[in-house]
Amino acid sequence: MNAEIEKYFSDFIGICKTSIPEKDHPKIQDAFSLVCEVFGDQCFKSGENIVVHSIDVAKVVVHEVGLGIDSVLAALLHNVHYQDPGSKIIGSRFEKPVVSILEGMAKINAMGTDTVELHSENYRKLMLAMAGDVRVILVKIADRLQVMRNLDSQPEEVRIKISVETSYLYAPLAHRLGLYYINSELLDLCLKHQNPEAYQTVSHRLKETDRERASFVAEFVKPIEAKLNSRGFSFDMKARTKSINSIWRKMQTQKVEFDEVMDLFAIRVILNSELATEKSDCWQVYSVVTEEYQSNPKRMRDWITIPKSNGYESLHATVLGPHGKWVEVQIRTRRMDEIAEKGLAAHWKYKGGTVTSEMEKWLANVREILENPDLNMVDFIDDFKMNVYADEIFVFTPKGDLRKLPAGATLLDFAYEVHSGVGDRCIGGKVNGKNVTLRHKLHNGDQISVDTANHQRPKMDWLDFVVTSKAKNRIKASLNEEVKREAENGKEILLRKVKNWKIEYNDESIRKLLKYYKFKLAQDLYYNISVGKIDTLEIKDLLVEKKEESAKQLVADMLPKEKIQELEFSSGDDYLIIDNNLKNVIYKLAPCCNPIFGDEIFGFVTIGEGIKIHRSTCPNAPQMIERYPYRFIKARWQDTKKKSSFQATIRISGTDEMNIVGSISHVVSKDIGVQMRSINIDSNNGAFDGTLRVFVNGLDHLEFLINKLKSINGVVSVSRAD
């Protein structure tokens, strides 16, 4: 092993001794050995040694973020995890929390950030949702800080891409998680690479004015220190200079030069007070400061009496110091300062100030930890699972654009989010390369493409599974448009029919039809005509005085002319003639009653299947006559003297004699030569019931067969079943 790297790791172990229990140090040694085993002396393209990078990230995690052993191990192993079979090796040698953190980091690494400038808040939320455990985010921030500190060795295009990503994602997350020092350094480094001239300008001026500021601070704090010491306070005083990025932004927003930025630094008084006397001690110090220097009442900020919603507590006073310079003085206790600098509660606001129950619970936990010296932040982070954004998901378009949707959103919701026209024509799509239906529920980080078809139209049942208001409103609007189109078509159909019938169609006619069908609007009537729910012949029956019409006239109203030409009617057109050879395909025998040649019959005109021929005794006839009287056609058979074949069903019952089935089969097939389709006999307690399906030439043929079957020994009853 490289002696220099060994020494580097030894220094790191020295840092760990102050915060990581000694019993966990062998785990760190094991992780380091695995990193060296996998990478040896390998370097990144930039020339940076991979093992050194891993140690540096772990240093940030333990020293600057203050995390525990699992996070430190994850920081050391994160590059190993990306190797094959690195994840399997880690899983076999280290505990589940370490693996979980590494898996969360891998998910975030797989997330595209091409449009991060446009959707930065959504990307941050997506990272938090995908990470699951907040430690994943914290280790990623540590990793990014180390990368930014060594970014000089990268090509310019890489520096720009990484710094843009950092400024929109990692720096705001660091700020949101209370890592203010890291946030400031990240933003300074971003400015350095995105706007080198601005960075150098501010950095140079800070160096030039360093002695001047130090002299001013010493002059300012001297009388304050004397008074506080005389009153027995235990305290520290320090000056905190604004970050380079913060100064530059203030110069831009206020349109001022460096020398005109008023609050380049602030004086901080940090008291070593007991919890019970914290507030009174801070107010006494405030009194001392404002007695010595004139205060600006408008700039006074009291976040001790009522702390900020993120837990921040401090007294701020802006006073006129030596040489007529305004200075901000921040007064707080040691506990308050630690909260302000490292508290995870900082700046966690949700949806414009409204707070979910999970957020309230989380903030309560933070408050408990911050106020209870027996608890520590590391324990809290180890237990905390990020579920603040459980009611939102973030997904990608094929181009990499990020879209935010409510939890439970479907592919169809996404299609409408892209464009209402895309939603209307959506027929399905792909999620992460796999075909899915409209109803497929989406998850965080899904990559989605939508398939459309020009013939597709919104359906009423779509409203049952979409969740976004945009999708629901558009579907309703599209359905209304479809209803209007269908209604226009239905109106044209009816007016054309009315003209052919040579009857008057007026307001009275409309009122009559609306009353009969129980509609409120004529549009509903026309729509139902267009979609086939209302038959125009029924309307004719309602509007025209009833008079006897010939069979041919009735059929002419219902079937196209070319089909009528194929039909045969009696000499007076009163009857439809059905030949027993069934050569005409325009009509079919109804399966509900199976008419055969010789039965009394009628024709019933269907909408899509031509004319169905029924027996007059069909069990469905009464209901059909009541609902659709205008569809009935008189019909009768024509004997062509040709043999035809009609299916008939016979019921047979009796005593269960030996070989009764054989006797029945013999009569049917041998004695008469009837073709049998099926026979089904059930016997029970010495009796039997059976059903025969046979083909006969007509009614006379069937009756002859029934009489033959009745003559079989043991047969008690034989009848036609249809």
pLDDT of residue 124: 55
Three-state SS letters, 412-435: HHHHHHHCHHHHHCEEEEEECCEE
Whether residue 28 is contained in a domain is answered as yes
Whether residue 362 is contained in a domain is answered as no
Whether residue 471 is contained in a domain is answered as no
The answer to whether residues 680 and 688 touch, using CB atoms and an 8 Å cutoff, is no
User: Same domain for 144 and 22?
Assistant: yes
Question: Residue 542's CB: how many other CB atoms inside 10 A?
Answer: 13
CA–CA distance from 19 to each of 9, 22, 389 (Å)? 16, 9, 31
Domain boundary (311, 342, 373) is at 342
Q: Which residue has the higher pLDDT, 515 or 196?
A: 196
User: Same domain for 654 and 697?
Assistant: yes
User: Same domain for 158 and 59?
Assistant: yes
pLDDT tens for 53-78 read 999 999 998 888 877 899 899 999 99
Whether residue 679 is contained in a domain is answered as yes
Of 270-279, 411-420, 564-573, the range with the lowest mean pLDDT is 564-573
pLDDT of residue 355: 39
Domain boundary (194, 227, 242) is at 194
Residues in the chain: 722
User: Same domain for 237 and 169?
Assistant: no
Domain harbouring 438, CATH code: 3.10.20.30
Whether residue 349 is contained in a domain is answered as no
Q: Is 141 helix (H, G, I), strand (E, B) or coil?
A: helix
Measured between alpha carbons, how far is 411 from 470 in angstroms, rounded to an integer? 13
User: Same domain for 405 and 535?
Assistant: no
State the DSSP code for 674.
Answer: P
Domain harbouring 667, CATH code: 3.30.70.260
pTM: 0.52
Decide if pLDDT at 567 tops 50: yes
pLDDT band at 573 (very low <50, low <70, confident <90, very high): low
User: Same domain for 483 and 611?
Assistant: no
pLDDT band at 26 (very low <50, low <70, confident <90, very high): very high
Of 298-307, 367-376, 447-456, 669-678, the range with the lowest mean pLDDT is 367-376
Whether residue 555 is contained in a domain is answered as yes
User: Same domain for 573 and 712?
Assistant: no
pLDDT tens for 606-639 read 866 778 889 888 988 888 877 777 778 888 887 6
Structural domain tally of the chain? 6
User: Same domain for 154 and 31?
Assistant: yes
Question: What is the span of the domain harbouring residue 650?
Answer: 646-720
Domain harbouring 149, CATH code: 1.10.3210.10
Whether residue 81 is contained in a domain is answered as yes
State the DSSP code for 324.
Answer: G
Domain harbouring 300, CATH code: 3.30.460.10
User: Same domain for 273 and 291?
Assistant: yes
pLDDT of residue 373: 40
Decide if pLDDT at 212 tops 80: yes
How far does the chain reach from its first CA to its final CA, in angstroms? 95
User: Same domain for 281 and 397?
Assistant: no
User: Same domain for 47 and 190?
Assistant: yes
Domain boundary (598, 613, 638) is at 638
Whether residue 464 is contained in a domain is answered as no
Q: Is 457 helix (H, G, I), strand (E, B) or coil?
A: coil
Chain-wide mean pLDDT for the chain?
A: 81
pLDDT tens for 461-483 read 899 999 988 899 889 888 888 88
Span 83-105, average pLDDT: 85
User: Same domain for 75 and 93?
Assistant: yes
Measured between alpha carbons, how far is 559 from 603 in angstroms, rounded to an integer? 13
Decide if pLDDT at 45 tops 50: yes
Percent residues over pLDDT 70 in the chain: 81
pLDDT band at 375 (very low <50, low <70, confident <90, very high): very low
